[in-house]
Amino acid sequence: MAPLVRAADLHVGCMRLAAGGSVGYHQATAPQLFAVVEGSGWIASGEARDREAISAGSAVVWDEGEWHEVGTDGGLVAIVVEGASVGRG
């Protein structure tokens, strides 16, 4: 994760996952937008942890405290925005 913006209430970063990479199951510490800008992979949320495909041009928002994970077979690049002002609007 390469930080792009760090403010008191907003963090923006660029995440690059190599082929076969993943970010393990964890809770969001704040509302979080995960926007894929290159490549594709999968996301999983909640107790069921059912995987859903995600690809460039797609995004997901996780609420504070929501459990989730991300992975990729072929690699992906995503912009991650975290902060109280991130919402599902």
pLDDT tens-digit map of 22-42? 999 999 999 999 999 999 999
Name residues whose C-beta falls within 8 Å of residue 40's C-beta, 6 or more positions apart in sequence: 53, 54, 55, 56, 72, 74, 76
At residue 28, the pLDDT reads: 95
pLDDT at 66: 95
Domain extents in the chain: 14-76
* pTM of the predicted model as reported, rounded to 2 decimal places: 0.92
Write down the CATH number for the domain with range 14-76. 2.60.120.10
pLDDT, position 41: 98
Distance CA 33, CA 89 (A): 11
